[in-house]
Amino acid sequence: DNLDFWELTRGRPPRRIPCVEHRGVTPRMLRTLLAFLKKRCNESGIIRGWYDPRTGAMLHYKTFNFHHLLHWIIKPLTQRLQCSFAEAVCGDTALSTPTSPATTPSLKGVSSHRVKWFVGHWWGESLLDFTKRIMKHAGANEESYWVCPLCTNLYECSGLAVADVHDKAGIIGLHALTSLKVYLSGCTGLNAIEELEKGLPAFQSLTQLELNCAYCWELQAVEELGKSLAKLRFLRTLRINFSDCSGLRSVGALGRGFAALLSLSHLELNFSSCVGLATVDDFGTSLARLEALTTLRLNFSGCSRLQHVSGLGRGFRGLRQLTTLGLNFSGCTDLRTVDELGRGLVMLVGLSTLEVSFFGCSKLADLDDLGRGLALMRSLAILKLELFGCSSLARIDELQRGIAALREHKELGTLEVNIV
């Protein structure tokens, strides 16, 4: 009776889905799995007849994690059927119709469309917390999610590149995947992302990658991440968020990595409040190789140790296709000079949108080269420049002449300059 899964399968044979990347679970399926688990609990939430296979302790509904799920549900159910959990519970029918709120939801099918999201987790995470996380992400949508232990055939293992499914979520061969978003924000104890760095090259067809490591205060090294990125040759859009990673000291190796991405057209990098960053020279000069880049947004706000950005200016000289550039240096209280940056902007012959913020850069004393550069940017249609709080600026005559020359040449669609 302890291993009766009829409520999950309804007695139907599994629906075979040969391609591992097409197997997915939906929020409704996860809620049904929780309902199945809930029925096995007593009034205190203790799961009757089940125990921790490692310690022998009783299991509780709220703390039932992926280790327990693998031992008590996934393995017993899938071993007999020789398939993944997702295939076992969806049956051989098409998508089920929504159930009424008064009834237990039915696991009649998985989403017929391709899996949209790849979900990471740790094996000690409770199924309840994991389901809440998925439901919050999905909102009102019934999206399809790839979750390693639920979507991998553990007895075929054709999709796994690691053997120990107890301790690792697995690196799977999703060679057809084109878009990947990885969220590690708030993992305050994370000091390295080695497993992610090793796994990224497996996604050989990626065209869009978003990595969020915000608020990972102890994260210090991203050198291997740069090497991994260099192998994603088809990548066209890259967004990385390292905001509030105060332990980060250098991003030079990261720049050298994405310099190999010759197809990259859209790049957004957020290093806001990375107070350990003192220089971005190596990182900046690496930009010059991204000749296909059309959109670049860099956020260094709150990087209080940053004194100059000369490397960025040198890197701009190779970006002849760039049409949109956003630079945020607000709160860089040690930033003293941007001369090289101004000279680099002149080389952006196709630039139509420029947004730059020096808000609160109290030691910035000279913008003459920036002004002279603006005067020569004939393609510019939108200019937004924030200089509030730049208390050390002795004069802005050259900047004003540059803006005037720009306006004489063509009518700007948008001009916002804040100087106080």
State the pLDDT at residue 20: 74
Assessment of whether the complete model's pTM goes beyond 0.95: no
Each residue's pLDDT tens digit, 158-194: 344 333 344 333 334 456 678 887 877 776 666 667 7
State the pLDDT at residue 16: 87
Weakly modelled stretches of the chain, pLDDT under 70: 1-3, 91-114, 155-176, 187-192, 195, 410, 420
Each residue's pLDDT tens digit, 352-407: 999 999 999 999 998 999 999 888 888 999 999 999 999 998 888 999 999 888 88
In Å, how far are 72, 212, 286, 309 from 279, measured between CA atoms?
52, 22, 14, 7
Residue of 78, 88, 82 whose CA lies nearest to 32: 88
State the pLDDT at residue 358: 96
| Residue 268 identity | E
| Residue 153 identity | N
Max distance between CA atoms of the chain, in angstroms, equals 84
Angle at CA of residue 188, ends 187 and 191, nearest 5°:
90
State the pLDDT at residue 183: 76
State the pLDDT at residue 174: 54
State the pLDDT at residue 98: 34
Question: How far is the C-alpha of 407 from the C-alpha of 31, rounded, in Å?
Answer: 60
Question: How far is the C-alpha of 402 from the C-alpha of 369, rounded, in Å?
Answer: 9
State the pLDDT at residue 96: 35
State the pLDDT at residue 420: 61
* Structure token digits, residue 50: 């089940």
